[in-house]
Structure 1
Amino acid sequence: MHESPIIKLGGLNIDLAIVIMLVVTCTIVFVLARLGTRRLSVENPGKMQNFMEWVVEFVLGLISSTMDLKKGKPFLKLGMTLIMFIFVGNMLGLPFSLVTEYSQVDKAQIFGHPLVTVVDALDKAHASNPGGEHIEVGVAWWKSPTADASVAMGLALMVFVLSNGLGIIKNPRNYFKHYLQPYPFFLPINLIEQFSKLLTQGMRLFGNIFAGEVLISVLIKLSALGVVGTIGSVLGLVVWQGFSIFVGSIQAFVFTILTMVYLSQALETHDEH
């Protein structure tokens, strides 16, 4: 795997590749949504309008499968944004990669800020092999943003805060009361259950997409083994990228439907009490 282009800014480690890919993902989703709603027509809908209508119907189906549609309709835009954002983000790392190589510490910088991961990697390489030549460190600038744990966990944290915030705002007394059910000594178990939702939702998305990109990197490196390796690399990439499209779609679906399930549980808690 290649290094990430991380710089220190204001005491924080900023991954420039993730920032770039988040902007690219948001731009693509915005353009798709804009094209799908630009020229609405009942009699002669365009392809993009049909696509957006399909997304709407699909997300409505997810919502209706988890809660009463009347209660769930306010979450339609959230569901559409999540499923499109995650799907596009999952797909971005498949078509190609953009990698730059650095061999000198003084050249490993951008906007006047050193790439800390590259500097550390070069220092370690030179320390383990003093006088070594042609030491290079690759930096990946184009990858799926959801293959980064901070992005996946950030999305999961957003859902966690939203679902629990909904419970607190709608009916705080019953929300806090359900942590003590069926018996007060179940409080630790109920708390663990809540936080496990956050971890499993984020790590499931991250793990699947990250593993896919790691395998793609391994398959690309097979081309260094000669003709047989190149053939195996090409065939493996074709098969795996096709499967990755399926995995990326499933993960977007799973993340979105889990979001609706958690929101539904927050609403049902108030109804039950």
Structure 2
Amino acid sequence: MFQIQNLSIISTLQPLFDLSEVSVGKHYYWDIGGFQVHGQVLLVSWFVLSLIAIISFLGNSKLAAMPEGVQNLTEYITEFIRDLAKTQIGEEEYLSWVPFLGTIFLFVFVSNWSGALVPWRLIEIPSGELAAPTNDINTTVALALLTSIAYFYAGISKKGLNYFKRYISPAVFLLPINVLEDFTKPLSLSFRLFGNILADELVVGVLIALVPLVVPIPIMLLGLFTSAIQALVFATLAGAYIGESLEDHH
């Protein structure tokens, strides 16, 4: 009987399994623990994380009373993230969320810029090609789901089960809309970031192929600007969602 129920559940969820296997473009696959993962995304992600770690170490290994050089850069970034968190979450509870928002912002920012500045396509791999991690929908969806988990954790840790009263506030008939909103938040976060980074790299790639000298340079500079804006938008929305979960509704 138990096996029949399991088979029934598996057959019901089979469309979801099929959907999860949909892949866009060619990828360099690694088999890890019986699962296929996009190796090119992990390679560039490790490069991004290593770069962030090196800059953090250089900026904080020998702290001086008068910051200069890399320390000045890291302190500026820290103050920027603190101000962003304070604005979106509030002065009382923002400090505990500075590490999360800072990690999200730095990873997205450095990933976006790595795709715009590093000539990954010159490095040959067995299949597919190297690109910014945020150029892959799996990365942006993972970041969006982490943000969803964060604001659920924030609300439940502060309010307990009373957090779920927000679904019937200010009226019970708004329950379906409020539930749907929690599904649209990660979707909008992931597809906005993925779409903008992919479109920027495609436009630059086409222009370089057609007009390889002068025209792509302004587009690349514009891509750096939009990449930074996308990182800021992602971190700002993540902070806004967390602040909304912590907000007291009367």
For this structure pair, what is the TM-score category when the shorter chain's length is used for normalisation?
A: 0.7 to 0.9
Gaps of 5+ in 2: 1-23
Shift of 1:143: 0.8
Q: Which amino acid aligns with 2:165?
A: K
In terms of fraction of residues, the more strand-rich structure is 1
Match among 9, 18, 27 for residue 50 of structure 2:
27
Matches within 5 A, 1:125-164: 139-140=128-129, 142-164=130-152
Shift of 1:2: 6.9
Moved more, 166-175 or 73-82: 166-175
Shift of 1:11: 4.2
Q: Could you say which residue in structure 2 is the equivalent of 1:185? A: 173
Secondary structure at the aligned position of 2:116 is classed as coil
Pairing 1:194–2:182 present: yes
Pairing 1:272–2:249 present: yes
Q: State which structure, 1 or 2, has the greater radius of gyration over its C-alpha atoms.
A: 1
Gaps of 5+ in 1: 103-107, 109-117, 119-138, 223-231
Pairing 1:76–2:76 present: no
TM-score (norm 1): 0.77
TM-score (norm 2): 0.84
Equivalents in 2 of 1:64, 1:101: separation in Å?
44
Moved more, 149-158 or 1-10: 1-10
Secondary structure at the aligned position of 1:14 is classed as strand
Q: Could you say which residue in structure 2 is the equivalent of 1:220? A: 208
Shift of 1:240: 1.3
Match among 55, 59, 62 for residue 39 of structure 1:
62
* Deviation readout 1:231-266 (Å, 9 max, x if unpaired): x23223211110110011001101111111011001
Equivalents in 1 of 2:132, 2:180: separation in Å?
30
Equivalents in 1 of 2:123, 2:40: separation in Å?
12
Equivalents in 1 of 2:215, 2:92: separation in Å?
47
Across the aligned residues of Structure 1 and Structure 2, the Cα RMSD in angstroms comes to 2.0
Pairing 1:51–2:28 present: no
Secondary structure at the aligned position of 2:37 is classed as strand
Equivalents in 2 of 1:183, 1:73: separation in Å?
33
Report % sequence identity: 30
Q: Could you say which residue in structure 2 is the equivalent of 1:18? A: 41
Equivalents in 2 of 1:149, 1:174: separation in Å?
34
Q: Could you say which residue in structure 1 is the equivalent of 2:225? A: 246
Change over 3 Å in CA distance of 1:234–1:53 after alignment to 2: same
* Deviation readout 1:81-137 (Å, 9 max, x if unpaired): 1211111100111231235779xxxxx6xxxxxxxxx5xxxxxxxxxxxxxxxxxxx
Q: Which amino acid aligns with 1:12?
A: F
Equivalents in 2 of 1:60, 1:177: separation in Å?
30
Q: Which amino acid aligns with 2:80?
A: F
